[in-house]
Amino acid sequence: MNRSFCLLGIAGLLLAAGCRKDDVVDCAPAASNLSLKDFVRRNGVPTQPFTINLGQTQSLTTRGGAVVTFPVNSFLTSTNSVATGTAQVRIREVYSVADMVLTDMPTSMPGYRDMLVSGGEFNIQVSGAQRLRLQAGSSLTLQSPIPPNQDTTQQYLWKQTAAMLATDTAGWQWASGLRAQSLPGLYRTLIPLDSIGWWNIDQFWHTYRSSGVASVAITTPANPLTDTRVYLRPIGYNGLARVAPANTTGMNWRTTMPVGVEMVAVVLQSVNGQLYYGTQKVTIQNNLVIVPPLTAVSEADAVRLIRQL
C-alpha cells in the first residue's frame, strides 16, 4: 500500500519520542529500486493511531476487531513519574499468513527451531512527549478475534524484544505464566506493556510433537541475505516459519520440519530493486531439497500473489 503520510513526522520528533528500531514510521520510500526493507514498510500492516486519556480507564477497538483496555493512571515516564493528560497509542495487528509475510513477522521461535501457530500478533506503543511504559503490576487487557479454523489448543502470550540478531526477525519468547483465555469467538489476555516490540497469542505447533522431523534445504539464486526472505507456510495452520541461512552466500537455507506435513515454500528477493517471487508446494520428507522457481514481479503483483497464500 502506498502511504504518503508520515505518522511521526520529522526526525527531531522521533528523537523526542525515544525512537527505537521497532518504532513504526509510515513514510513510504520511492516506488523504484525497492529493497525488501522498503517493501515491508510499504506493504506491511498499517499503524492505527488513537488518543487515550491517561486519567481514566479507556477501551479502543481496532480495525481488525480487537479491543484493548488501558488501566487508569498506570503509565510511567522515563523518570518513573506517573504520566498524566492524553497519550498517543499506535497499534499494528497481524492475523493472517499473508500479512505475516508482508510485515515480515513470522511465528518462528528463537534460532528458527520450532514454529508457533498464531492467534494474532500485536505491536502496541504508548507515548506522550516520550515513550511510556506500564508500572509494575499493571496490564493492558486485550480481546482479539480468533482466526478462522484455529483449533482449541491452549494459547499462550509470547513476546519479541526490540534487540534481535540481524538474521532473526521473529524470535518469539514465552511471556512466562501468561495464557490466553478462550471465549466464544475471541481470545482474552493481559499484557504487561514494557519495552517489548511485539506480542503474540500463540500455541505450540503440536505437529512437531506428534511427528518425526526431517532436515529441509531450500536453494535460491545468490543474493544478499538482507534482500532475501525464505519462509515455509504449513497448509491448514495460521503460522509461518522463517528459514535460516545455512551460510553467507545467500543461496542455501536450512531448517527442520515434521515429516509428512504439506507446506508451501515461499521466496521473496530484491535484486537491484527488482522483486522476484516464487512458491513451491511440498510434502516434507527426509533430506528434501526445494528449489522454488522465481519470477520477476512488480510490487503490486508481489502483494497480490502473497495475498493468495
pLDDT in tens, 182-199: 888 899 999 988 767 899
Q: Pick the residue with more confidence: 47 or 182?
A: 47
Quick one: how far is CA 264 from the chain centroid? Answer: 19
Q: Is the pLDDT of residue 259 over 70?
A: yes
**Residue 49, Cβ neighbours under 10 Å: how many?**
12
The whole-number pLDDT of residue 175 equals: 84
Q: Residue written as cell 482474552?
A: 188
Pick from 20-29, 130-139, 260-269, 292-301: least confident: 20-29
Mean pLDDT of 217-231: 96
Percent of the chain with pLDDT over 70: 85
Strand order in the sheet with 228-234: 241-242, 228-234, 262-271, 274-283, 295-297
Q: What is the pLDDT of residues 74-120, one digit of tens each?
A: 999 989 999 999 999 999 999 999 999 999 999 988 654 578 999 99
Pick from 36-45, 152-161, 300-309: least confident: 152-161
- Give CA separation, 186 vs 48, 149, 175, 182, in Å: 20, 13, 20, 6
Mean pLDDT of 136-144: 92
Instruction: Please say whether the beta carbons of 27 and 6 come within 8 A.
Output: yes
Express the helix, strand and coil content of the chain in percent, nearest 5 each: 15, 40, 45
- Give CA separation, 15 vs 8, 19, 170, in Å: 10, 6, 25
* Measured distance CA(92)–CA(124) in Å, rounded: 7
The whole-number pLDDT of residue 16 equals: 37
- 42: left (phi > 0), else alpha (psi -120 to 50), else beta? alpha
Instruction: Provide φ and ψ at 100, rounded to 5°.
Output: -65, -40
Pinpoint the residues of the chain covered by CATH 2.60.220.30: 47-204
Mean pLDDT of the chain: 86
Q: Exposed/middle/buried for 58, CB within 10 Å: 0-12, 13-18, 19+?
A: middle
pLDDT class for 128, splitting at 50, 70, 90?
A: confident
Q: Is the pLDDT of residue 10 over 60?
A: no
- Tell me the DSSP string of 223-249: --GGGEEEEEEETTSS--EEPEESSSS
The whole-number pLDDT of residue 29 equals: 44
Pinpoint the residues of the chain covered by CATH 2.60.40.1120: 211-307
Q: Which three cell numbers stand for residue 63?
A: 480495525
Q: Which three cell numbers stand for residue 271?
A: 535484486
* Measured distance CA(141)–CA(70) in Å, rounded: 7
Q: What is the pLDDT of residues 56-75, one digit of tens each?
A: 999 999 999 999 999 999 99
- Give CA separation, 233 vs 38, 100, 284, in Å: 23, 10, 12
- For the 47-204 domain, the top CATH level (class) is mainly beta
The whole-number pLDDT of residue 89 equals: 96
Architecture of domain 211-307: Sandwich (2.60)
* Measured distance CA(18)–CA(162) in Å, rounded: 13
pTM: 0.86
pLDDT class for 174, splitting at 50, 70, 90?
A: confident
The whole-number pLDDT of residue 212 equals: 87
* Measured distance CA(38)–CA(248) in Å, rounded: 22
Sequence-separated (6 or more) residues with CB below 8 Å from residue 163: none
Q: Is the pLDDT of residue 20 over 80?
A: no
